[in-house]
Amino acid sequence: MIRPDIIDLLRVKPGKKFRLKDCNPGWKQTDEFEELGKDALKEKAKAILDANLADLAQAQDLLYADDRHAVLVVFQAMDAAGKDGTIKHVMSGVNPQGCQVYSFKKPSAEELDHTFLWRYQRCLPERGRIGIFNRSYYEDVLVVKVHPELIGRQLPRKKETFGKAFWKKRYEDINAFERHLVRNGTVVLKFFLNVSKDEQKRRFLERLDRPEKNWKFSPSDLAERGYWDDYMAAYEDAIGATSTPEAPWHVVPADHKWVTRAVVADVVTTAIRGLDLRVPELTDDERKRLDAARAALNAEE
């Protein structure tokens, strides 16, 4: 396990002014880490990831058996921050039956005909499952804030402007939505994979230079990179306004994949283990039925 005080550094404190520039996307999160050095820290992170993957598989089995809670894991990030790879690695040990992954792209005409939370509401994890949102309703206060024209007809007819008040209402809607989920047994874990602009450039160039990675590059990725500062401002506002005690944000350093994966696996595993999960207990009647079944099987030739 990663020490709770380290995870605490990455958790956004509700009600406090949040500044993205205070968050380090690299590995030198503390003086202690710096002293330890990159290679030693990487070894440690890999060992923690391995241990957590085994624990997560067990925790998920229990979540499924207990069947009272669901876990919603939200990933938000700029392109090439490593959402896909993190999901692939962190979930590599879990039972696919207990896990649902949804990737949200540009909304369809049908989706735009509903309120902005509708399409996400339909994909929420069932009790006993881990649901992963690869992008989420936060896009509606991120990409949509950077490009307000995307909002289409989701705006009431009366001319509303995209001022502060508009986005504040959306943050409130999101907080209310998440509070509803948490009150009804869903654990909500939110991760912003914090990649630096330099590292994004390096990863884009790698996608362009290596033929087997070309398919991962889309020209629109470069166009969105042009709005980097607007995105950072939108992330800062959204994360600050929606990191609540019941559903806090974690700003995960994403310039090194081994850091990202170790942190995400640790937070997810610790959260599930912190639930009061039990294998369902049998009633006396059910136990009698099992005894009868055992007796019947033993009596077979």
Q: Which residues bind Mg ion (CB under 5 A)?
A: 79
Amino acid sitting at position 147: H
| Partner whose footprint covers residue 244, from Mg ion, ligand ATP, none (CB < 5 to 8 Å by kind) | none
CA distance linking residue 105 with residue 7, whole number of Å? 30
Q: Determine, following the binding rule CB under 6 A, whether residue 255 of this chain makes contact with ligand ATP.
A: no
| Partner whose footprint covers residue 171, from ligand ATP, Mg ion, none (CB < 5 to 8 Å by kind) | none
Q: Determine, following the binding rule CB under 6 A, whether residue 117 of this chain makes contact with ligand ATP.
A: no
Q: Residue from 150, 182, 233, 271 that binds ligand ATP (CB under 6 A)?
A: 150
| Partner whose footprint covers residue 158, from Mg ion, ligand ATP, none (CB < 5 to 8 Å by kind) | none
Q: Determine, following the binding rule CB under 6 A, whether residue 230 of this chain makes contact with ligand ATP.
A: no
Identity of the residue, 208 or 282, whose beta carbon is nearer to ligand ATP in the bound complex? 208
Q: Determine, following the binding rule CB under 6 A, whether residue 107 of this chain makes contact with ligand ATP.
A: yes
Residue 190, judged by CB atoms within 10 A of its CB (0-12, 13-18, 19+), counts as buried
Q: Which of residues 123-142 bind ligand ATP (CB under 6 A)?
A: 134-135, 139-140
Identity of the residue, 55 or 178, whose beta carbon is nearer to ligand ATP in the bound complex? 178
**Residue numbers of the site for ligand ATP (CB under 6 A)?**
79, 84, 103-107, 134-135, 139-140, 143-144, 150, 218
